[in-house]
C-alpha cells in the first residue's frame, strides 16, 4: 500500500474522531429537526457520501489524475478531499440517526413509567 494512501487514511480517521468528539452541537442541532428530516436526511447522507466518494474516485482516471489504476500525485489531494467529505457525511448521518434512537428510547421509557403508574394501587 502506498504511503499517500496511508496518510489519507490517517487524515480521514483523525478527522472523524475529531468531528465526533465535538459533535454535541451537531447532536443538539439534529434534535431540533423533524423525525422525517432525520430519517430521510440521515439515510440519504449515508448513501450520498458513499456515492460522492466512489464516484469521485472512479472519475480520477478520466480526469487524468490516475493511470492504470494508480493514483497520480495530484490525484491524492482529490482523494483526500473526497474522503473527508465522505467522513463528514457519515458523522452527520450518524448524529441524525442517533437522535432518532435516543428519542425512541425516551418515548419508551415514558410509556413504561406511565404504564407502571396505572398498575400501582393508590395509597
- Spatial neighbors of 44 by CB under 8 A, at least 6 apart, are 93
Query: Does residue 121 surpass a pLDDT of 80?
Result: no
Say if strands 70-71 and 66-67 run parallel, antiparallel, or are unpaired. antiparallel
Inter-residue contact 72 to 66 (CB < 8 Å): yes
For the stretch 31-40, pLDDT in tens is 899 999 999 9
Spatial separation of the C-alpha atoms in residues 43 and 107, rounded to whole Å: 22
pLDDT in tens, 43-91: 999 999 999 999 999 999 999 999 998 999 999 999 999 999 999 999 9
Asked if pLDDT for residue 41 goes beyond 90, the answer is: yes
Amino acid at each position: 500500500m502506498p504511503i499517500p494512501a496511508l496518510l489519507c487514511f490517517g487524515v480521514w480517521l483523525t478527522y472523524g474522531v475529531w468531528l465526533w468528539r465535538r459533535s454535541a452541537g451537531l447532536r443538539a442541532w439534529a434534535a431540533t429537526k423533524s423525525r422525517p428530516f432525520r430519517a430521510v436526511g440521515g439515510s440519504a447522507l449515508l448513501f450520498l457520501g458513499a456515492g460522492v466518494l466512489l464516484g469521485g474516485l472512479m472519475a480520477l482516471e478520466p480526469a487524468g489524475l490516475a493511470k492504470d489504476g494508480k493514483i497520480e500525485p495530484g490525484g491524492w489531494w482529490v482523494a483526500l478531499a473526497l474522503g473527508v467529505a465522505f467522513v463528514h457525511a457519515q458523522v452527520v448521518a450518524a448524529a441524525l440517526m442517533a437522535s432518532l434512537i435516543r428519542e425512541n428510547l425516551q418515548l419508551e421509557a415514558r410509556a413504561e413509567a406511565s404504564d407502571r403508574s396505572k398498575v400501582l394501587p393508590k395509597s
